[in-house]
Amino acid sequence: CTPIRTCEIGQHCNVSTDCTSGICNSSNQCDGPSCSDGILNQGEADVDCGGPCAPGKTCEIGQHCNISTDCTSGTCNSSNQCDGIGGALCGLAHHGIMKLLGALNLPPPTQEHKYSETQEFILNYIEKGQEQSMIAAVKEAVVEAGGARELTVSGDGAWLTRGHSSVHEISALCSTTKRPKVLDTIWSYKKCAKCQGAESLRHVNPALFKTFQENHECQLNYIGSSRGMEKEMIHEMFCRSLSKYNTTYISYIGDGDAKIHKYLMDNPPYSDINIKKLEDTNHFEKRMLNRIMKVKRENKNMILSDGKRFSSKGRMTDTQAIKFKIYFAKAIRESKTDLNKLYQKSWAIFKHHYSTDGEPMHDWYDPQWCKYRRATSAGQQIKHSKAPIPQPCLDMIKPLFEELCSHTSLARVIDGGKLDMLRLSSASTIKKRHIKRAKITAAVTNTASSESDGDILCIANEENVDDIVNDVTLELNDITLELSQDDITDAYEAGGDD
């Protein structure tokens, strides 16, 4: 009689097509729809989940949904699929989401295998977006360089753990345009977690182990010391610039670490180009602070010619040392294209502090900020106020200026750049992101990270980035200086940058 006349609920049946409901149970009776019958019915969003089955049975990532409450993840996207991209893009693995939702007293997330499947699904599309974003960034850099395909780039790397003992590392190259963007990224792995996990199958189930080997794409791509990861990965990105973008990188802005540039010179990626090393201005300006702090540590008990110590109240304090660094940074950023101007502005910092009524030294200081020069140009007389730092203290740091502010030393930052796109602020609260998850995040975004601390911050290759900074005013020694926010963000960091 089927399909013209089918059996109703409770009647005998042999197969599911005998029943009007389409369900023939194990007792050979037609049964009513339920949330465990394996059939999409009764208004369910997907098979046996969502709709009337929720919240008892919600749909997993990738299944169909109508509203957010249909989904275990609580997110129903515009394509009417349960979405789980949030956990992937914020760098959380499945166990991390379990802990987070548990702490918030929320329902558990999707099953781990579903989460992994979604990760792989998302990654395919994000990698395409990554490539398109970086190709666009290269084109933008070429246009800004006047059509030249010889570019200046900055580079840096980050490790998952401190002490250069990590088995994972990520490196990136950025453009040096007005709005720097990521041009290339690469990940290095000394171990493959999947290979290590599959070793247990080698003797227990050889057939399954062989199938795994045939279908597995091993992550292992580096053998050697963790310290050598960064230089080799950056070298590889230089080598593939021609084949990937039809461009060459002729200048490299580094962070004061000479190993990378030396490696590029010893293993030239291009046969006819000697890559020029430019200094990262952020690192160079910090040397002023680090040198002063070193003098302070080494001479903390020394009595100077005026019978007092080098560092105490009214002398060379930590605050005064940081201000020297701020002024030095401002001089570099305002004059990094003119060596003579940079030389004069750098020494003007020292000479201004050293000046007295009997020996004024304000010739190189900008009249816009120097009250003494404005007064003398107006024919007025002005006396120096009490110096915040006595001359005996300044005599102790004069050798530092002779070292850092010589023409030879300052020439290293001429046309130099900043590693802001790669360097993470010490105030970042993003801690211990997993490289595995960061790969997905970095694929759609620019990477900012602090070297060797495992912190990864990602900033999108956006077209509209505001260059507005807030001006602040700082009073020092009767001079008013306007400093941008960039000039005051770096707090004191102990240790050298060499």
The confidence score (pLDDT) of residue 38 equals 81
The confidence score (pLDDT) of residue 246 equals 93
* 288 & 347 share domain: yes
Distance CA 61, CA 87 (A): 12
Q: At which residue do the structure tokens 């409450």 appear?
A: 69
* 286 & 393 share domain: yes
* Domain ranges, residue 261: 114-190+226-277
Distance CA 73, CA 58 (A): 9
The confidence score (pLDDT) of residue 63 equals 82
Task: State the number of CA atoms in the 13 A half-sphere of 390 facing the CB.
Answer: 14
* 366 & 309 share domain: yes
* 250 & 163 share domain: yes
The CA-CA-CA angle for residues 91, 94, 99, to 5°, reads: 95
Count of all residues that appear for the chain in the document: 498
Distance CA 354, CA 312 (A): 18
- Sign of the dihedral through C-alpha 275, 281, 285, 286: negative
Asked whether residue 448 is assigned to any structural domain, the reply reads no
Secondary structure letter of residue 68 according to DSSP: G
CB atoms within 10 A of CB 390: 18
* 128 & 32 share domain: no
Asked whether residue 39 is assigned to any structural domain, the reply reads yes
The confidence score (pLDDT) of residue 363 equals 78
* 90 & 120 share domain: no
Asked whether residue 131 is assigned to any structural domain, the reply reads yes
Distance CA 483, CA 474 (A): 7
Cis amide leading into 3 (omega within 30): yes
Distance CA 252, CA 242 (A): 16
Cβ burial of 80 (10 Å; 0-12, 13-18, 19+) is middle
| pLDDT tens, residue order, the chain (498 aa) | 656 678 888 888 888 888 887 888 888 888 888 888 788 888 888 888 888 888 778 888 778 888 877 887 667 777 777 766 666 666 666 777 777 777 877 766 666 676 777 777 777 788 888 899 999 999 999 999 899 999 989 888 888 776 667 888 889 999 988 888 999 999 888 888 778 878 878 888 888 888 888 888 888 888 888 888 888 899 999 999 999 999 999 988 877 666 888 889 899 999 888 888 877 777 788 888 889 999 988 988 888 888 888 887 888 888 888 989 888 888 888 887 888 888 888 898 888 888 887 778 877 777 777 777 777 777 787 777 777 788 888 899 999 999 888 888 888 777 655 544 344 332 333 333 333 444 433 333 333 333 333 333 333 454 433 332 233 223 333 333 333 334 333 333 333 333
- Sign of the dihedral through C-alpha 122, 435, 459, 97: positive
The confidence score (pLDDT) of residue 458 equals 36
Give the domain-ending residue among 46, 77, 104.
104
Task: State the number of CA atoms in the 13 A half-sphere of 297 facing the CB.
Answer: 8
Tokens of 263: 């490696």
Pairing state of beta strands 248-254 and 150-159?
Answer: parallel
* 267 & 288 share domain: no
Distance CA 42, CA 53 (A): 9
Judged by DSSP in three states, 291 sits in helix
The confidence score (pLDDT) of residue 84 equals 63
* 185 & 327 share domain: no
Distance CA 459, CA 328 (A): 28
* 292 & 406 share domain: yes
Secondary structure letter of residue 481 according to DSSP: E
- In DSSP terms, which residues pair with 457 in a beta bridge? 448
Helices (H), 145-276: 193-198, 201-204, 206-215, 229-239, 241-245, 258-266
Asked whether residue 52 is assigned to any structural domain, the reply reads yes
- CATH number, domain at 150? 3.30.420
CB atoms within 10 A of CB 202: 13
Give the domain-ending residue among 417, 441, 476.
417
Give the domain-ending residue among 383, 417, 451.
417
Distance CA 29, CA 26 (A): 7
Shortest CA distance to 398 belongs to which of 343, 344, 351, 332?
351
> How far from 184 is each of 83, 103, 175, 316, CA to CA, in Å?
29, 38, 9, 44
Asked whether residue 489 is assigned to any structural domain, the reply reads no
Asked whether residue 169 is assigned to any structural domain, the reply reads yes
119, 438 Cβ separation under 8 angstroms: no
Distance CA 286, CA 413 (A): 13
The confidence score (pLDDT) of residue 268 equals 92
- pTM of the complete model: 0.56
Tokens of 440: 């997905």
Asked whether residue 427 is assigned to any structural domain, the reply reads no
Asked whether residue 214 is assigned to any structural domain, the reply reads no
Judged by DSSP in three states, 340 sits in helix
Judged by DSSP in three states, 149 sits in coil
* 373 & 247 share domain: no
Cis amide leading into 55 (omega within 30): yes
* 239 & 271 share domain: yes
Q: Give the chain's domain count.
A: 3
The confidence score (pLDDT) of residue 380 equals 80
* 291 & 382 share domain: yes
